[in-house]
Amino acid sequence: MPRPKKATRKEIASIKEAFLERYDAAVTELNYANAFELVIAVALSAQCTDKRVNMITPELFKKYPDPISLASADLEDVKSIINTCSFFNNKAKNLIKMAQRLVEVYDGKVPLDEKELVTLAGVGQKTAHVVMIEYTGANLMAVDTHVFRVAHRLGLSDDETALKTEETLVKKFKTDLHALHQGMVLFGRYICTAQNPKCNSECFLQEFCKSKKSFKAR
């Protein structure tokens, strides 16, 4: 199947303006009270819905409210709390290891620096970027399934991977990346959905759409 046409420079500017107008104050739908809880919630959200994560985390946060308590948690207990989340076995192990490193290396505080965040178990570049976007308003982009699909449907990227798509979006948008990320996530989640996108009723970017194909990163 041929790749969709690329958005022109003028279209990119218009798309950016439209996203910022609609989603300038958008924030994550994950529930959290501090940076520690945010890192956990974002890590759990990998290949799991925010809705599901928000059902899991209240009990987890109540029982393990800080890195010290989670660092010494029983693995089976953590597994039992998050067992409705995808890949819960590995995620439980990583949560405990993450908390242990926070205690041992960072005095129990979450480092709000990308290079340090990615040293935490279960925290890759995307998770680090999402945490910094949400918690500090950092001018960063993170590409999940929603952002990847939206970027390709609007002709903003024809890259085959999430990381390459991230690089392309950063180059094309340059500024306001935190708001654009949040906006593209919400737009992809509720309007430009993978199946049956709301093209005629709610879409405010229909004139820029290049394809309705359900793109997925390799």
Q: Which residues are known catalytic residues?
A: 126, 144
Maximum Cα interatomic distance, the chain, rounded to a whole number of Å = 55
Whole-angstrom Cα distance, residue 155 to residue 56?
A: 36
Q: What is the DSSP string of 5-20?
A: PPPPHHHHHHHHHHHH
H-only helix segments in the chain: 9-23, 35-44, 50-63, 67-71, 75-82, 88-106, 114-117, 125-136, 145-153, 162-173, 177-190
Distance CA 122, CA 42 (A): 10
In whole angstroms, what is the distance from residue 65 CA to residue 107 CA? 15
Give the sign of the dihedral formed by CA 178, CA 53, CA 39, CA 166. Answer: negative
Three-point CA angle 124, 125, 131, nearest 5°: 90
